[in-house]
Amino acid sequence: MTTWMIRTDAPGDGPRLAVKDAIDVAGLPTTAGSAAVAALARPAERDAAAVASARAAGARIVGKTNLTEFCLGSDGLNPWSGTPVNPLDPSRIPGGSSSGSAVAVAAGEADVAFGTDTGGSVRVPAACCGIAAQGPDVAAVVLGMRLLEPGFAPVPYERDRPIARLRPQGVRPEIDAAVDDAVRRVAALADVRSEEFDEAGMANGAIVGHEAWEADGRYLDRPDLVSERMRHRLPLLRSIARKYYPWAREVQRALRAELDAILERHAAIALPVLPTVAPEPDDDLQGDLPLTRLTGPVNVAGLPAFALPVPLPGSHLPASVQLIGPAGGEERLCGLAAAIEAALRRDG
């Protein structure tokens, strides 16, 4: 049962909500997918704010989901708690770090799930498991859209505005083609360039590395409770952060200004979530890092993004389009994603 860290049986008939085990649920411990954290964990005294709001809206908490250790891994693999099985293809990774949250929804064990996303940790597993996911901007939390907020209504897409198309290098041609085909069903595409986007992937690593070391570096004092991957990765992230953190903040400011300027002229920015379909597991200690190359820059910019599965001809696995919107534009992104989804269903 590697999808779940803890199952609960909440009464009621509201939507079933799964919560990543990095988010507090009253009465349950929070382990962050780590044996070292679990050894010290105590039941949470109260719900995290997002969980409390979801309960107030009628959601039923059905459990806390598995994740990668310390939330540091985009493949979803966890040698301590196990790895959730991708429902689309058990030979492929589920994506991470919110692996169990994506699998729970994709497998029909939850109606909606909460995750965390500092570099793609919601969007990457959604892409791997073929579900939709919303990553809000740094000032917002989206509570499951219609399922958790009955009054939520996506803002209809303005069809007279084009969608900007970023084309980072290294994306497989069939993935790019699938993204283009899906978006063109509802809008004209206008190719744009970003001078900062590629560098922002490294910048995100420096920012995440700084925060990860501050939060988790102390657990290396118990190396017997930390996996080999994290014993290697945490010091590496620390060294990257020490060298590049000031530069990363400069890239952050430049990228945000660049993307804001693009979004003034376009309804959204579109690009893939992943450069390929969900890959098979890689035993390399750093083999999962390229998975966030297209998602991490969005976190650097602090903008909302939506991941939506789109058909990939000739494959049993989907591609996933990433839609980036302006700050505070979650409702409009949902409207655009809903329009694309409806067009795909209509056209078969």
At 135, the pLDDT band (50, 70, 90 cuts) reads: confident
Q: How far is residue 203 from each of residues 210, 246, 282, measured CA to CA in Å?
A: 11, 9, 24
The alpha-helical segments, DSSP class H, found in 163-227 are 173-184, 197-216
> Does residue 105 surpass a pLDDT of 60?
yes
For residue range 24-54, list pLDDT tens digits in order. Answer: 999 999 999 999 999 999 999 999 999 999 9
At 283, the pLDDT band (50, 70, 90 cuts) reads: low
| CA dist., res. 145 & res. 17, Å (int) | 12
Strand-pair partners of 26: 44
> What is the percent of the chain with per-residue pLDDT over 90, rounded to a whole number?
84
> Does residue 148 surpass a pLDDT of 50?
no
Instruction: List all residues 6 or more positions away from 84 whose beta carbon is below 8 Å from its beta carbon.
Output: 2, 3, 65, 66, 76, 94, 99, 100, 102, 103
At 154, the pLDDT band (50, 70, 90 cuts) reads: low
Give per-residue burial for 11-25: e unless 16+ CB within 10 Å, then b: eeebbbbbbbbbbbb
> Does residue 200 surpass a pLDDT of 80?
yes
> Does residue 134 surpass a pLDDT of 50?
yes
Round to the nearest angstrom and report the end-to-end CA distance of the chain.
35
Average pLDDT over residues 138-148: 46
> Does residue 286 surpass a pLDDT of 70?
no
| CA dist., res. 120 & res. 218, Å (int) | 24
For residue range 207-222, list pLDDT tens digits in order. Answer: 999 999 999 999 999 9
At 256, the pLDDT band (50, 70, 90 cuts) reads: very high
> What is the percent of the chain with per-residue pLDDT over 70, rounded to a whole number?
92
Asked if 333 and 306 touch (Cβ cutoff 8 Å), the reply is: yes
At 151, the pLDDT band (50, 70, 90 cuts) reads: very low
Edge-first strand listing for the sheet containing 16-20: 4-7, 60-65, 16-20, 112-114
> Does residue 288 surpass a pLDDT of 90?
no
Domains of the chain and CATH, by start: 4-140 (3.90.1300.10)
> Does residue 347 surpass a pLDDT of 60?
yes
Average pLDDT over residues 221-246: 96
- pTM for this entry: 0.94
> Does residue 293 surpass a pLDDT of 60?
yes
Average pLDDT over residues 235-246: 95
Instruction: List all residues 6 or more positions away from 178 whose beta carbon is below 8 Å from its beta carbon.
Output: 310, 311, 312, 313, 319, 321
Average pLDDT over residues 72-80: 95
Asked if 296 and 273 touch (Cβ cutoff 8 Å), the reply is: no
Q: Pick the closest to residue 126 from 336, 323, 315 (CA basis).
A: 323
| CA dist., res. 5 & res. 82, Å (int) | 10
Give per-residue burial for 96-116: e unless 16+ CB within 10 Å, then b: bbbbbbbbbbbbebbbbbbbb
Summary mean pLDDT of the chain:
92
